[in-house]
Each structure stands twice: as C-alpha cells, then as structure tokens.
C-alpha cells in the first residue's frame, strides 16, 4: 500500500493511492472517489479489492483545485467543502485523469493489462462516463448522480457496465430513476439493479444511510462481475 504519481494528459501530475494483492501480476481496478477525496473509505475500498486479488488505484481527482483532500461525512463543514469541490470540478478533465490512471495501471508490470473501474456517488457518475468514453474492460457505478443528463452518450457503452441504484436516493427523483432505466433498458452491455428502500450512499460503511443488506448484495454482485470480466 502506498502512493504513486501519475502524469496528466494536459500536463501536471497527481497522486494516487495504490493497494496490491499478494500475487502479481493481477488484474487492475481504478477506484473513483466520492466527493470527500481519497479518504479512509476510498483507501479501504482499494485495500479490500487488493485482498480479492486486484491491483487497486484511487487517483486524487481534486488535485486541480487542492491536492490531498481527505474529508469525512461527519460534519457540516466537511459536507460544505465537499460540495464546493464537486461544483468546482471540471468533470471532463476528471475523466481524462481517470483515463491516464487507466493507462498507467495497464502499463504497470504489476498488472495483467485487464482493468476495470468502480465509482461511488460523484465517482459513480464518473464511472458511468468512463463506460461511455474510455476503453476500460468493465465499469461499476454505485448511485451515480445526474446520470439521466448523460443518456445522450449511452450508445457509446460497448463494454460491460454494472449499475447499483438506490430506489430512495435523495439526490434523484423517481422520475429520474424511471428515465435512467428506460434509457438504458435496450443496451445488452448494461446490468442495472435497483435497491428497494435504499438511500444514497447505502454502501458507505459508517455512513448515515448505510444499509448492510443492500451493501452486501451490491458488493457481492460487483465481486462476481469483476471475476467474470477481469479474471
């Protein structure tokens, strides 16, 4: 476990947390942060993926505003800071940084060359964008925000995409969920699961809306998905 530096496509460089399995080389997973930065929760996701046999890399996507951000979901001040950072993010450039991370991981001697992504919240949106704009072998989106506005690009999804959607997501109306499911229903590459009664961030350990049953089900599906498409 440690940090590496990755060069951005448009110049500059950003840090990324890396967790490696005991046996190398291994398939890779790019872990895409929530609005709180590369914090303990995201590092924990990487560590868990490493324990499952993947090289997991979580890049700092706030580096263009302020590198090294690590917030929690425990105070209002941190929430305010997190939302400000999200609003200040150029998401197109964030996708470029994720593609740079993907290329870095594929080129690593520790990686077999097969690489997927998984993202949560803001990262869930960016994972959805990676499914449409990158050549990642597969992608997983947990309760991505504002996905209905991106459906115009959905025809570009040509590789497996697994989506975990909260039925009671406080950031998405039922109409948004209906639009999203209808817009993706004809794409054979997309598997979308709706978690009844679950709210946004139902899979964040220790979070206000953590739902163990829903999280365990979603995480089990993610594990099987990665084994199928990256193994």
Give the Cα separation of 156 and 133 in Å (integer): 7
CB 40 within 8 A of CB 19: no
User: Which residues are CB-neighbours of 105 under 8 A, at least 6 positions away?
Assistant: 28, 30, 55, 57, 111, 115
Global pTM exceeds 0.85: yes
Digit-coded pLDDT (tens) for 56-102: 999 999 999 999 999 999 999 999 999 999 999 999 999 999 999 99
Catalytic center residues: 169, 200
Distances (CA, A) of 74 to 71, 77, 78, 178, 209: 9, 9, 7, 31, 12
Residue 95 is encoded by which pair of tokens? 């996708």
**Topology given in CATH for the domain delimited by 2-230:** Rossmann fold (3.40.50)
The pLDDT assigned to 128 comes to: 98
Q: What is the pLDDT of residue 1?
A: 77
């Amino acid at each position: 476990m440690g940090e590496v530096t990755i060069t951005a496509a448009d110049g500059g460089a950003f840090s990324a947390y890396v967790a490696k399995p005991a046996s190398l080389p291994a398939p890779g997973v790019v872990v895409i942060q929530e609005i709180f930065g590369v914090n303990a929760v995201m590092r924990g996701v990487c560590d868990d993926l490493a324990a499952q046999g993947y090289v997991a890399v979580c890049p700092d996507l706030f580096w263009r505003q302020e590198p090294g951000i690590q917030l929690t979901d425990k105070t209002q001040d941190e929430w305010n800071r997190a939302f400000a950072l999200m609003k200040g993010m150029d998401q197109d450039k964030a996708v470029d940084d994720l593609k740079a991370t993907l290329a870095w991981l594929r080129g690593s001697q520790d990686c077999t060359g097969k690489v997927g992504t998984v993202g949560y919240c803001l990262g869930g949106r960016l994972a959805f964008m990676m499914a449409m704009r990158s050549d990642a072998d597969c992608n997983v989106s947990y309760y991505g925000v504002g996905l209905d506005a991106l459906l115009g690009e959905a025809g570009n999804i040509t590789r497996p995409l697994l989506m975990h959607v909260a039925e009671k997501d406080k950031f998405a109306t039922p109409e948004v969920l209906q639009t999203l499911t209808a817009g993706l229903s004809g794409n054979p590459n997309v598997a979308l699961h709706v978690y009844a009664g679950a709210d946004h961030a139902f899979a964040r350990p220790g979070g206000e809306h953590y739902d163990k049953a829903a999280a365990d089900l979603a995480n089990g599906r993610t594990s099987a998905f990665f084994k199928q498409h990256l193994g």
